[in-house]
Amino acid sequence: MEFGNLFTYGSNNIVNFESINGVNIIMGRNGLGKSSLIDVILLTIYNTYSKYDTSCEAVNRRHKKGYSILTLEVNNDLYEIKRTFERVTNKDEKEKTFSSENTTPYG
């Protein structure tokens, strides 16, 4: 999994689940981004996540754009999901909306 500028994370984050065999718990202090890792996976696959009804807050407040790439193996077939996210504001900047593009090619 690779992602950038989502939730509390900055750019160019990589999590290699294959290299962490046997890990079954994520520990840390409140606010460090433990549940955000799960939310990045949910956002990438389903375009929604656990914290809010809308995805407008998924992009880190310090950035206008974010992305995620998730590679999955199912029955020996590889699937790659790529999404880009952009924080969009209306004229009054009172309401924030969210746009997402999704591509799922894998060669």
Residues 13-33 pLDDT 10s: 999 988 887 767 888 899 888
Residues 60-92 pLDDT 10s: 989 999 999 999 999 999 999 999 988 876 655
CB of 35 closer than 8 Å to CB of 26:
no
Nearest-CA neighbor of 6 among 103, 85, 69? 85
What pTM did the predictor assign? 0.77
In the chain, the amino acid numbered 75 is N
Q: Give alpha helix (H) positions in 1-48.
A: 34-46
